[in-house]
Structure 1
Amino acid sequence: MTPLPQALILALAFCFSLPLAQISGTLQAQAVHADSTLAAAHRLFAEANLLANRGHHDQAEPKLLRVLSMREKALGLDHPDVALTLHNLGFIYNAQDRYAEAEPLLRRALAIRETVLGPQHLEVALTLNSLAFTYGVQSRYDEAEPLYERALAIRESALGPAHPDVAFAMNNLAFFYTMQSRYDEAEPLYERALAIDEIVLGPNHLQVAHVLSNLGMLYDDLGRYKEARPVYERVLAIREATLGSSHPDVANVLINLASLYHHQERYAEAIPLYRRSLDIRTAEFGPEHSDTSLALENLILACELLFALPYVAEEQQSITAPESMAMLCRLSP
C-alpha cells in the first residue's frame, strides 16, 4: 500500500487516484495570556489553527513562525507554550510533506514536554504521535512503531481504555499498520476505536467519520468494495451535515468514494464525484493549490479511461453520446 493522509483534519495525498486518509496528529489549543505580547501571540496562534484546520497551511505557517519567535523571546526556549508552537508547526510541515523540517521541531517539542511535564503527560503523547507519523511516512517503521505504542499506553493509563483520545491513538496505530499492509493487525484496532467513539461521542461525530474513513480505505485496499462503499457514504453524510457541502473535508471523502469506483473501472460513477471535489477545492484553495491539482489529475485520468472504453467510444460517434459526462469532463468553458 502507498502511504496516505489528510488529514484532522488535514489530508495528504501521496499519489492520485488513491484514497485519502486522515493525517495522524492534531493541532492543539492554548490558554489566554494577559501580557500584551503573549496575548498577540495567542491571537496569531488561534488564527493559524483556523487556517490549518481548513487546509491553508501556507498561510498558517508564517503566523506560527512569528508566534514561535515571540514566545521564545518572552518565555524562554524551554517553555511549554514554545513546545506547543513547535508541535503545531511540525504538524503543518507534516501536512505539507516537509518531513525533514517537521522532525527537528517535533523532537524539540517532545524534549521540552518530557522535561517540563514529565514522560507520562498527555501532551507528550500528542507529540509522540506526530513524530511517529513523521517517521512512518518516510518508511522509518522501526522508529515510528514504539512511539505510537507509547502514545497509546500513556493515554490508556491516564484516561482509561474507553476514552475518545485512546480511540484516537488506536486509530493512529491502525493507520500505521495499514501503511505496511498489516491489515490483520489494523482492522481490529479500527473497529475498537470506532466502537469507543460511537458510544462516547455519538454516531454522527466527526471523529467517528475520521475512523470510518480510514476503515473504508482498508476495505478498499483489500478489494472489499461492497464493505467500503457504505462506509465512505456514511463519512460523506456526517461531514456534509456537520461541516457543510463545500468544506475541504467533504472534498476528501468524495475523492475516496470516487477512487473506490475508479478501482472497479466504474468511471462514469467516479467522474461526478471527482468533478465535485475539484470544484470544492478550486473554490476553497484556488486553481494553483496542490490539492486542487490532485483533484484535477484524478478527473482527467478518469475521463480518459472512461472515453477509452469501447462502448463509450462507439457512443461518441453517434447521437447518443454521453453528453452529461462530457460536460463533467470539460475543463474550461
Structure 2
Amino acid sequence: MDDPSRIQTIIQYIPPQLQSNTLPLYERLLELQRDDPAELAKTHTQLAVLMYTLGDIQTTLQHLHQALELREQKLGKDHQQVAATCIHLGAMYRNSGDFETSLKYMLQALEIQKKNLGEEHPVVASSYNNIGALHYQSNDYARAIREYEKALTIHLKIHGEVHADTSGTYHNLGTAWKQLGDSNTALEYLQKALHLLETALGTFEHPDIASSYNNMALVLSQLPDRQGEALEKYRSATESFEKTLGSEHPHVAACRFNIALMLQTQGLKEDAKKEFELARDIWETSYGREHAHTEMAQKGVEECN
C-alpha cells in the first residue's frame, strides 16, 4: 500500500481497542513520508499518542523527540507547533517523574508562546499554570505560587473575575498555600474560587465544585474553631459528587472517610462507623478488598466497635 492518505483513513476507522494492530501501518507511513517533514512529524506525534495508550513511555518520548526535531528544522524553533510538541514532551517527562527535564520543555514552550502571542494571552497563562503545577508536584510550593500568580494576573486582565480559568487559578493558589501551612490564606483563595465557580456555572452540581468543597473542608479541619464548618463542607462535597459522579464513585468514598474521621475525633463513634462502612464498601467495589483504602476504612470500622 503506497497511498498515505488511504493508510490514514484505514487507521482512523480501526476501533480504539484494536489500535495496537495499526503499528505496521504507521511504520509504512513513516517510510512513505520520509521526504515530507511536516507529515512525518504529524505521524510521529500520532505514534507517540498510540504508544502512550499502550503504556510505552520510552517509545512515546522517542517519537515526540523526532517530531520536535522535524518541526524545528521545517518550521523554525519559534513556531507554535514546536511549542505544542514541547508541551507534550513536558507532560510525558512529568508523568515519568523527571521533573527537571519536564520543566526544561515547559519553559521552552512558554518562551515560544510569549514571542508569538504576547505576554498577556490565555495560552501563556495556561503555561504558567502548568509550570506552577510542576513545581507543586516537586513540593516547591513557593515557586508554584509565583507561577500561579502570573497566570492569575493574565486571567484577571483578559477574563475578569467571573471565569472558570480565573476560578481555577484561585483554587491552585489555595491548595499551594495550604501545603505551605498558611490555612487562612489558603481558605481565602479557596472561598473565592468556589464563589466564582458557582457564579460561572450557575449550579453546585459539578465535580469541580465538589472538589472545591472538599479542599475547603481539608483546610477548615485544621482550624480548631472551625470543625463544624469543615464537616458541613465535607457533606456538601459528598452530595455534589453523588449527584455528578454517582453514589459509588471513589471520590464519594474519600469524602465519607473524611467525615468519619471528624466524627470519630468528636467521639461520635456510631455515626463515624456508618461513614467508615459506606467508604469501605465503595472502595471495595472499586478497588478490591485488599486495597490500602479499603483496609484503611475497615480499620476505622473496627476502631468504632
Length-normalised TM-score, structure 2: 0.68
Q: Percent identity of the aligned residues?
A: 21
Q: Structure 1, residues 160-193: CA drift from partner, whole Å, max 9, x if none?
A: 2221100100011011111122122122221211
Q: How does 1:143-222 map to 2 (within 5 A)?
A: 143-203=143-203, 204-222=205-223
- Read off the aligned partner of 1:106 and give its amino acid letter: L
* Distance of aligned partners of 1:47 and 1:226 in 2 relative to their CA distance in 1, 3 Å threshold: farther
Q: Which moved more, 1:35-44 or 1:119-128?
A: 35-44
* Distance of aligned partners of 1:248 and 1:187 in 2 relative to their CA distance in 1, 3 Å threshold: same
Cα shift at 1:231: 1.8
Q: Which residue of structure 2 lines up, in the alignment, with residue 14 of structure 1?
A: none
* Distance of aligned partners of 1:268 and 1:201 in 2 relative to their CA distance in 1, 3 Å threshold: same
Cα shift at 1:268: 1.2
Q: Structure 1, residues 222-256: CA drift from partner, whole Å, max 9, x if none?
A: 24332122322222222222223344433443443
The question of whether the paired residues in 2 share the 8 Å contact of 1:45 and 1:67 is answered with no
Q: Which has the higher contact order (CA 8 A, sep 6+)?
A: 1
Cα shift at 1:112: 1.8
Q: Which of the residues 266, 269, 277 maps onto 2:274?
A: 269
Partner SS, residue 221 of structure 1: coil
Stretches of structure 1 that go unaligned for 5 or more consecutive residues are 1-33, 52-57, 307-311, 313-333
Q: How does 1:67-106 map to 2 (within 5 A)?
A: 68-69=64-65, 71-72=67-68, 74-76=70-72, 79-89=82-92, 92-93=95-96, 98=97, 101-106=98-103
The question of whether the paired residues in 2 share the 8 Å contact of 1:257 and 1:273 is answered with no
Q: How does 1:15-34 map to 2 (within 5 A)?
A: none
Q: Counterparts of 1:102 and 1:150 in 2: how far apart (Å)?
A: 20
Aligned residues: 253
Q: Counterparts of 2:63 and 2:266 in 1: how far apart (Å)?
A: 47
Q: Counterparts of 2:257 and 2:62 in 1: how far apart (Å)?
A: 34
Q: Which of the residues 244, 259, 262 maps onto 2:246?
A: 244
Partner SS, residue 160 of structure 1: coil
Q: Which residue of structure 2 lines up, in the alignment, with residue 112 of structure 1?
A: 109
Cα shift at 1:137: 5.2
* Distance of aligned partners of 1:193 and 1:67 in 2 relative to their CA distance in 1, 3 Å threshold: farther
Q: Which residue of structure 1 lines up, in the alignment, with residue 287 of structure 2?
A: 282
Cα shift at 1:278: 2.1
The question of whether the paired residues in 1 share the 8 Å contact of 2:90 and 2:102 is answered with yes
- Read off the aligned partner of 1:122 and give its amino acid letter: P
